[in-house]
A and B are shown apart, each in its own frame.
Chain A
């Protein structure tokens, strides 16, 4: 069974530039999560999708971050314009559904973003 795929693995940009990350969840997983992991910290949820609808985006900085999951499968996370403090690893995870015994999240390898 293929795992959660993310690309690119690394990205270096200058501040005020834009960047996009892509995630393909495990087949059949309805729920998709984007986490931000700053160096030395645990992952922090940015946004959660159930199929193509947003369940929770309370910690997403909406003035610069956006995410979509148009067909309920792949997802894209965008930052525009990037700030120095956006330097982090961006992790995508997926699960069969949210809540209950099905809530085991499987993570991708992440994208390491460096903003210079």
Chain B
């Protein structure tokens, strides 16, 4: 079984500032992948960033980067230079095994303010 915990239900950040969203997970699989998805009010889930567990290097996608601590089973998302369009629910997810279904956390609602 896999579990994902997001301990921050809501966060707020000012435009142009940096914010970090936390995520911890648990899985018995050796080969797994970690994801951050963004869900704006329009509801469509969009992949933000992906990390393969076997890679030590942290993934980066433009203003988005992760801090992957495998031993601690921690996978945080850092958003630099926050923009109003970053306002959304952010879900952390883990996918493992041959079926690779995703197990999601409960999400963090991020509000970017002027």
Chain A residues in contact with chain B, CB under 8 A? Answer: 3, 33, 40-45, 48, 55-56, 89, 91, 93, 95, 98-101, 103-110, 112
Asked if A98 and B102 sit within 8 Å, CB to CB, the answer is: no
Chain B residues in contact with chain A, CB under 8 A? Answer: 4, 33, 37, 42-47, 50, 52, 91, 93, 95, 97-107
Bound complex: CA A3 to CA B103 (Å): 22
When A104-B50, A109-B42, A110-B44 are in contact, do A44 and B104 touch as well, CB less than 8 Å?
yes
Asked if A103 and B33 sit within 8 Å, CB to CB, the answer is: yes
Complex partner residue of B43 from A48, A89, A95, A103, CB under 8 angstroms: A89
Asked if A98 and B98 sit within 8 Å, CB to CB, the answer is: yes
Bound complex: CA A41 to CA B109 (Å): 11
How many A-B residue pairs lie within 8 Å, measured between CB atoms? 58
Complex partner residue of A109 from B37, B44, B93, CB under 8 angstroms: B44
Q: A99-B98, A104-B47, A107-B46 are in contact. List 12 more A-B contacts (CB 8 A).
A: A40-B106, A42-B91, A42-B106, A45-B102, A45-B103, A56-B101, A89-B43, A98-B99, A103-B100, A106-B47, A107-B44, A109-B42
Asked if A56 and B44 sit within 8 Å, CB to CB, the answer is: no
Asked if B106 and A103 sit within 8 Å, CB to CB, the answer is: no
Asked if B99 and A108 sit within 8 Å, CB to CB, the answer is: no
Bound complex: CA A40 to CA B89 (Å): 10
> What residues on B are CB-neighbors of A108 within 8 Å?
44
A17 to chain B, nearest CB (A): 23
Asked if A99 and B99 sit within 8 Å, CB to CB, the answer is: yes
